[in-house]
């Protein structure tokens, strides 16, 4: 039932150790190397086996591994072991002998083996073959969580019940190949602890460090352990939309929560909007896993309202996944090569250099993935220097691979990139994309053929919610493709021409404004971008016409505020002078609305006329004095647009006009709560205004006392108006402790090129 032959000798020993502890109830003293004197593991004491007599004395455990599929253990495979066992028995070191093997073991063979070892002086002999080991994996959920590779080594429909299988298939079937190569790392263990304790975890790390793999393992374990209902989403707004209070075991997985390759501030603002709703979700039993690249998360932290979800401040739920031990790197490299596409001759040739590859400081899981695929190594010389370059210069080498592709393959990647990494299948071409393909020397037929050829190497055909779509095998491929695009104005022009406006505002910058991984549009292409922005009137994220128009406006203003140089903004204002009036009167939620950020940007560049600046100051000051939004009082808010005199005047007006009627403001907020909005979510903005007031008037004891009183009364009102919510049932994945590592002088790569036989 499970492809145990693909594990490798070291992983099979670890599986045997885990089975010995979890199923047979014994803690093994140690696993030793190839010069073990006939003992892969040993312990002394009593062994109480279910339904059998109690055994005691000195035990020896021997693991016989074969890399040959459907191999049946032969008596001749054990000739050396019998001689070693005889010596151990004579020395009183072996009363009982336990043989565990992934080879087939018939009843007749088991009897012969027991007779053979008893003749050598062993009192008790137990044998466990591949069928028995597979049965333990099939029947024991915890064993599968501790050794999650088995999810990729067997048929999910056999492992999971029908409902769970349908759930898992939706999310994980396309990842089965990767699951078979999984290594349980310290980051995975800490992520399990975080889910157990907090129901929430944020996994951060550099590109290709293994964030998605860990998230998939958590989802798979949740499905298996307590029949969770998993949802993989790409927009935080959909979390609250899909949450079902009557389904406490929901599991939400958000990959690249704050942007795929670049920081996307609109995603953070959506998170800020739903964070108050996340807390009751977690209390009722929902689990949430998020991932983010480290540089994107570091940027997002500046805009995230961590006060709305204090868990984000706790280090135990924000886990950096890239810190791998040397043993973990070796196992990752072994698994990918053993289960990859490289021929035996390649594995034999590279075998002497694998320790050096695993020990390289720039080694990441993606290194192993590429080394195991002939597409990435066809021009690689197998020498230490070139292998070091392969690991060290992984970004440049990936670009070289992409640049070396034929025209149809490059065009196929362009199509995926222009669709933001998700190209629906079957492909329905847009007119602008057809033109782009023509300029790239390709057509739809050539792209379809290329996609099939690139499948599993550079692209994947994935299935989700009854939809099929092409995507990059890994986000680093999108990074490399973007780097190639910026090297040619012709390619970049094709990209702009073939992309929709709502895609462009999330992927490019007009001029270099120091956004990591963004595609920089040079000045000669500004007219094309101006034309594209003029087309941005509706957002495809919303079905409602009003929301669609609002979303497009939000995207356009956000793009101008964060992704445009002074020169481009000047050109945009020349064509759109009405923009100045728009930013002069921003709406409420000043820390969120894009007009505020754009006003600050224009002011910094000297592009905001004085009369518009004054109108802006007047508008945000009015919000503060009325108690609607106090963001103007914060030093890191819109303070930069005020003169010193204007700001001092605002502070005194707030002290004189707002503080004395703070209770009235609170009561007005309470009376105007919409029935569809929870008290906690609705009052979050007011509580943040109170924080701003307290920061500004912290040196005035009477003001602090007044503000604290209103904070207390607000929280009391929230508690009184929030219905009691039963705590969700406790769902734990269980503790995943570090397993004992083999104390071995034998290289894990010893059988990397083996095809048959037992070791």
The ranges assigned to domains in the chain are 4-139, 155-320, 326-392, 577-674+685-718
Long-range Cβ contacts of 704-712 (<8 Å, 24+ apart): 706/659, 706/662, 707/659, 707/662, 710/662, 710/663, 710/666, 711/687
- Per-residue pLDDT for 354 more than 50? yes
What's the average model confidence in pLDDT over 679-707? 87
Tallying the residues shown for the chain, one arrives at 759
Phi, psi of 383 (to 5 degrees): -140, 155
**752 backbone dihedrals φ, ψ, rounded to 5°:** -60, -30
Distance CA 83, CA 38 (A): 9
The DSSP code sequence of 461-498 is EEEETTEEEEEESSHHHHHHHHHHHTT-HHHHHHHHHH
pLDDT tens digits along 168-208: 666 666 666 777 888 888 888 888 888 888 888 989 888 77
Q: What is the pLDDT of residue 51?
A: 46
Calculate mean pLDDT across residues 95-117: 90
Model confidence at 103, in pLDDT bands (50, 70, 90)? very high
Cα 570 from chain centroid? 39
What is the CA angle 504-509-511, rounded to 5? 145
Quickly state the pLDDT bin for 37 (edges 50, 70, 90).
Answer: very low
State the pLDDT at residue 604: 93
Return the percent helix, strand and coil in the chain, to nearest 5.
55, 10, 30
pLDDT at site 384: 94
Please tell me what DSSP assigns to residue 206: S
Q: Which of 448, 438, 362, 454 lies closest to 404, judged by CA?
A: 454
Residues 310 and 317: their CA atoms lie apart, in Å, by 11
Residue 611 pLDDT > 90: yes
Q: How confident is the model at residue 55, as a pLDDT?
A: 63
Rounded distance between C-alpha atoms, residue 483 and residue 490, angstroms: 14
Q: Which residue has the higher pLDDT, 585 or 17?
A: 585
Q: CA–CA separation, 275 vs 347, rounded Å?
A: 49
Residue-wise DSSP of 112-166: HHHHHHHHTT-SEEEEE-HHHHHHHHHH-HHHHHHSGGGGGTB-HHHHS-HHHHH
DSSP state of 66: B
- Burial of residue 748, with CB atoms counted within 10 A of its CB: 0-12 exposed, 13-18 middle, 19 or more buried: buried
Angle at 35 between CA 84 and CA 153, to 5 degrees: 95
Most confident of 292-296, 314-318, 730-734: 292-296
Specify which of 27-36, 449-458, 470-479 reaches the highest per-range mean pLDDT. Answer: 449-458
For residue 201, give the 3-state DSSP assignment: strand
pLDDT of residue 319: 73
pLDDT of residue 709: 93
CB 252 within 8 Å of CB 288: yes
How far apart are alpha carbons 380 and 372 in whole angstroms? 12
Q: Which residue has the higher pLDDT, 46 or 330?
A: 330
pLDDT at 629: 86
Provide, rounded to the nearest whole percent, the portion of the chain with pLDDT above 70. 86
Q: How far apart are alpha carbons 328 and 10 in whole angstroms?
A: 12
- Which of 671, 686, 685 is closest to 721 using CA atoms? 671
Average pLDDT for the chain: 83
CA distance 751 to 759: 9
Is domain 4-139 given the CATH code 2.60.40.10 in the classification? no
The band of 321, judged by pLDDT with boundaries at 50, 70 and 90, is: confident
Q: Kindly tell me if the per-residue pLDDT of 60 is higher than 80.
A: yes
Most trustworthy range by pLDDT among 292-306, 580-594, 606-620, 637-651: 606-620
- Give the tens place of pLDDT for each residue, 358-414: 999 889 888 998 899 998 898 899 999 999 999 998 888 888 888 888 899 999 998
Q: How confident is the model at residue 584 (pLDDT cuts 50, 70, 90)?
A: very high
Q: What is the largest CA-CA distance in the chain?
A: 102
Please choose, from the candidates 587, 584, 530, the residue with its C-alpha nearest in 3D space to the C-alpha of residue 554.
Answer: 587
Model confidence band, residue 644 (pLDDT cutoffs 50, 70, 90): very high
Residue 664's pLDDT band (cuts 50, 70, 90): very high
Predicted confidence band of residue 213 (pLDDT cuts 50, 70, 90): confident
- The reported pLDDT for the residue numbered 732 is 67
What sign for the dihedral angle of Cα 8, 11, 17, 21? negative
Q: Look at domain 155-320 and name its CATH class.
A: alpha beta
Lowest mean pLDDT among 609-613, 615-619, 748-752: 748-752
Would you call 59 helix, strand, or coil by DSSP? strand
Mean pLDDT of 469-494: 81
In whole angstroms, give the CA distance from residue 613 to residue 646. Answer: 12
Weakest-pLDDT range from 80-94, 96-110, 157-171 = 157-171
pLDDT reported for residue 613: 94
Q: Which residues contact 527 (CB under 8 A, 6 or more apart)?
A: none
Residue 509 vs residues 7, 505, 559, 585: alpha-carbon distances, Å? 46, 8, 8, 26
Report the pLDDT averaged over residues 705-710. Answer: 92
For residues 127-145, average pLDDT: 88
Assess whether pLDDT exceeds 70 at residue 540. Answer: no
Strand order in the sheet with 200-205: 229-233, 250-254, 287-293, 200-205, 318-320
Which pLDDT band holds residue 43 (cuts at 50, 70, 90)? Answer: low
Is residue 595 classed exposed, middle or buried when 0-12, 13-18 and 19+ CB atoms within 10 A define those classes?
buried
**Across 219-229, average pLDDT:** 80
Q: Hey, how many other C-beta atoms are within 10 angstroms of the C-beta on 646?
A: 14
């Amino acid at each position: 039932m499970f492809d145990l032959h693909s594990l490798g000798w070291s992983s099979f020993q670890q599986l045997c150790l885990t089975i010995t502890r979890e199923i047979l109830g014994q803690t093994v003293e140690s696993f030793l190397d190839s010069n073990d004197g006939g003992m892969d593991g040993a312990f002394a004491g009593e062994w109480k086996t279910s339904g059998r007599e109690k055994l005691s004395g000195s035990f020896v455990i021997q693991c016989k591994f074969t890399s040959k599929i459907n191999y049946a253990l032969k008596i001749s495979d054990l000739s050396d072991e019998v001689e070693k066992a005889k010596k151990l028995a004579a020395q009183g070191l072996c009363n009982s002998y336990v043989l565990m093997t992934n080879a087939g073991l018939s009843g007749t063979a088991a009897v012969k083996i027991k007779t053979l070892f008893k003749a050598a002086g062993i009192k008790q002999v137990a044998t466990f073959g591949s069928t028995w080991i597979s049965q333990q994996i099939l029947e024991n959920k915890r064993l599968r969580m501790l050794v999650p590779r088995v999810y990729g080594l067997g048929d999910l429909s056999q492992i999971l019940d029908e409902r769970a299988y349908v759930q898992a298939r939706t999310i994980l079937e396309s990842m089965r190949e990767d699951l078979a190569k999984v290594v349980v790392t310290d980051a995975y263990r800490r992520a399990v602890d975080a889910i157990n304790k907090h129901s929430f975890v944020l996994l951060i790390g550099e590109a290709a460090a293994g964030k998605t793999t860990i998230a998939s393992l958590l989802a798979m374990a949740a499905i298996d352990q307590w029949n969770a209902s998993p949802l993989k989403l790409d927009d935080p707004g959909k979390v609250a939309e899909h949450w079902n209070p009557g389904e406490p075991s929901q599991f939400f997985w958000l990959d690249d929560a704050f942007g795929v390759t670049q920081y996307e501030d609109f995603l953070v603002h959506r998170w800020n909007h739903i964070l108050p709703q996340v807390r009751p979700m977690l209390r009722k039993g929902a689990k949430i896993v998020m991932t983010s690249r480290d540089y994107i998360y570091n940027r997002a932290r500046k805009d995230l309202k961590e006060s709305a979800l204090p868990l984000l401040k706790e280090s135990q739920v924000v886990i950096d996944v890239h810190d791998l031990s040397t043993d973990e790197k070796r196992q990752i490299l072994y698994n990918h090569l053993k289960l990859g596409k490289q021929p035996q001759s390649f594995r034999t040739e590279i075998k002497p250099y694998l320790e050096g590859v695993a020990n390289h400081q720039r080694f990441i899981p993606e290194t192993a993935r590429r080394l195991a695929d002939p597409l990435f190594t066809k021009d690689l010389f197998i020498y230490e220097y070139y292998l070091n370059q392969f690991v060290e210069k992984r970004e440049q080498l990936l670009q070289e691979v992409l640049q070396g592709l034929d025209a149809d393959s490059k065009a196929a990647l362009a199509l995926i990139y222009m669709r933001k990494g998700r190209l629906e299948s079957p492909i329905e071409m847009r007119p602008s994309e057809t033109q782009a393909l023509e300029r790239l020397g390709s057509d739809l037929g050539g792209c379809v053929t290329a996609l099939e050829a690139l499948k599993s190497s550079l692209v994947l055909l994935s299935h989700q919610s009854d939809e099929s779509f092409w995507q990059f095998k890994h986000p680093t491929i999108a990074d490399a493709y973007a780097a190639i695009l910026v090297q040619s104005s012709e390619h970049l022009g094709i990209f702009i021409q073939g992309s929709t406006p709502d895609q462009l505002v999330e992927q490019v910058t007009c001029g270099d404004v120091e956004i990591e991984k963004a595609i920089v549009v040079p000045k000669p292409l500004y007219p094309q971008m101006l034309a594209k922005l003029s087309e941005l009137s509706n957002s495809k994220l919303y079905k409602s016409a009003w929301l669609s128009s609002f979303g497009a406006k939000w995207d356009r203003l956000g793009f101008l505020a964060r992704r445009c140089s002074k020169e481009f903004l000047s050109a945009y204002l020349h064509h759109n002078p009405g923009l100045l009036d728009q930013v002069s009167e921003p709406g409420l939620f000043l820390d969120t609305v894009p007009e505020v950020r754009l006003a600050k940007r224009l002011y910094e560049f000297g592009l905001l006329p004085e009369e518009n600046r004054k109108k802006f100051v007047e508008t945000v000051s009015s919000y503060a004095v009325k108690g609607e939004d106090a963001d103007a009082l914060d030093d890191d808010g819109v303070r930069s647009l005020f003169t010193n005199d204007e700001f001092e005047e605002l502070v005194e007006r707030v002290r004189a006009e707002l503080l004395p009627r703070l209770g009235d403001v609170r009561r007005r907020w309470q009376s105007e709560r919409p029935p569809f909005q929870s008290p906690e979510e609705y009052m979050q903005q007011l509580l943040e205004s109170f924080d701003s007031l307290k920061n500004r008037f912290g040196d005035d004891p009477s003001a602090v006392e007044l503000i604290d009183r209103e904070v207390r009364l607000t929280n009391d009102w929230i508690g009184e108006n929030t219905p009691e919510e039963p705590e969700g049932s406790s769902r734990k994945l269980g503790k995943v402790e570090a397993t004992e590592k083999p104390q071995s002088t034998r290289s894990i790569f010893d059988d990397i090129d083996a095809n048959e036989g037992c070791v």
